[in-house]
Structure 1
Amino acid sequence: MPLIDPARSLLLVVDVQVRLMPAIAEAAGVVANAGRLTAAARLLDVPVLVTEQNAGGLGPTMPALAPEPGTAFPKMSFGATRTPGFLARLPADRDPVVTGCEAHICVLQTVLGLIEAGRRVRVVADAVGARRIENREAALARMAAHGAEIVTTEMVVFEWLGTARHRRFRDVLKLIT
């Protein structure tokens, strides 16, 4: 199924952490779009899973994206799939929609691990970041070459809605405009 179905989606927010974001190119846009996706997911009952890389060093998730206390998935491996228990946190009937940082390190390794595990993955291009734009672009190209579908925030949100008659349409539209 090519459309992004909210009943089959899980939003995966990878390492959007307070001490990392000041170093990320165009960080404000990445955080804003990840925030839009997180808010839309919550309105549309799409599960959200947040990872934190070395939280002692990089701090917690940005407040705008913060999960319920104690629910962030801690990791030290760059690729979340290398951390025991991570794949068990992803329901088998849910396709990950991925946002986060850094595109060419933790996002890339997590996405490649998910693909290797047989998952259908969408990466939200305008909601992933890196310190250097060329690293972000190279990572997106590599993930696409290995089977990840590259999408945008608005593609995801409007496919999750499906129709302007959706009961949450106006609430979600406020996130975009």
Structure 2
Amino acid sequence: MLVIVDMQTRLVPHLDGAQRLTERAGTLLRAANLLDVPVIYTEQNPQRLGGTVDALLADLRAAKGIEKHTFDATLAPAFIDALPPAPATLWIAGAEAHVCALLTVLGLLRLGYRVEYVADAVASRRAADRAVALERAQQDGARLTTVETAIFGWLGSFTHPRFRDVLALIK
């Protein structure tokens, strides 16, 4: 399952590398849709931070959205209810790398999930905060990955019937 954390209209523009983050998260999301990887997304206090950025909305039509008011999404019952049973593997992307995304990663690890933290699809306001978040996630048991590694892992082989469709997303 792919989890997109707090890619919201009043937050994303302030992040270091916001455009790149949105592009990478969008690529990951479109590939997940093509390959039938389930997707959920969170919105932190959307009344204040706005909804999910427009660039991702069309690709989130089939995904389950979770409104939350906790930094760690695992403290929101609706989020927990949307997850597959542990020890499933969850791929985490979004914002901010050192707050909601990281705290959700740590919460998922505590619950027994295998977590792949998608390093090129997370961002913070400051690059240093993102760097510490990636290190902390790895120290606590998450595996770092990239958008392309996740996608090719989902494909498994170039013989997959959707290979060419997915390949077009990353070229």
Q: Determine if the TM-score, normalized by the shorter chain, exceeds 0.5.
A: yes
Shift in alpha-carbon separation, 1:40–1:69, aligned structure 2, 3 A: closer
Q: Normalising to structure 1: TM-score of the pair?
A: 0.91
The match for 1:173 among 160, 167, 170 is 167
- Say what the alpha-carbon RMSD is for the aligned residues: 1.3
Matches within 5 A, 1:117-156: 117-156=111-150
The Cα of 1:69 is off from its aligned counterpart by: 8.1
The amino acid that maps onto 1:171 is D
The Cα of 1:70 is off from its aligned counterpart by: 9.0
- Say which SS state the counterpart of residue 122 (structure 2) adopts: strand
Deviation track 1:122-144 (CA, whole Å, cap 9, x = no partner) reads 00000000000000000000000
Aligned residues: 168
Tell me how far apart the structure 2 counterparts of residues 43 and 71 of structure 1 sit (CA, whole Å). 16
Tell me how far apart the structure 2 counterparts of residues 33 and 98 of structure 1 sit (CA, whole Å). 12
- Say which SS state the counterpart of residue 131 (structure 1) adopts: coil
Deviation track 1:50-91 (CA, whole Å, cap 9, x = no partner) reads 000010111111122222289310001000001123212101
Tell me how far apart the structure 1 counterparts of residues 37 and 63 of structure 2 sit (CA, whole Å). 19
The match for 1:51 among 39, 42, 45 is 42
Q: Does 1:92 align with 2:115?
A: no
Matches within 5 A, 1:80-119: 80-92=73-85, 94-119=88-113
The amino acid that maps onto 1:97 is W
The Cα of 1:121 is off from its aligned counterpart by: 0.4
Q: Identify unmatched segments of 5+ residues in structure 2.
A: none
Tell me how far apart the structure 1 counterparts of residues 63 and 45 of structure 2 sit (CA, whole Å). 15
- Say which SS state the counterpart of residue 77 (structure 2) adopts: coil
- Say which SS state the counterpart of residue 118 (structure 2) adopts: strand
- Say which SS state the counterpart of residue 4 (structure 2) adopts: strand
1:5 aligned partner: none
Q: Identify unmatched segments of 5+ residues in structure 1.
A: 1-9
Tell me how far apart the structure 1 counterparts of residues 99 and 153 of structure 2 sit (CA, whole Å). 28
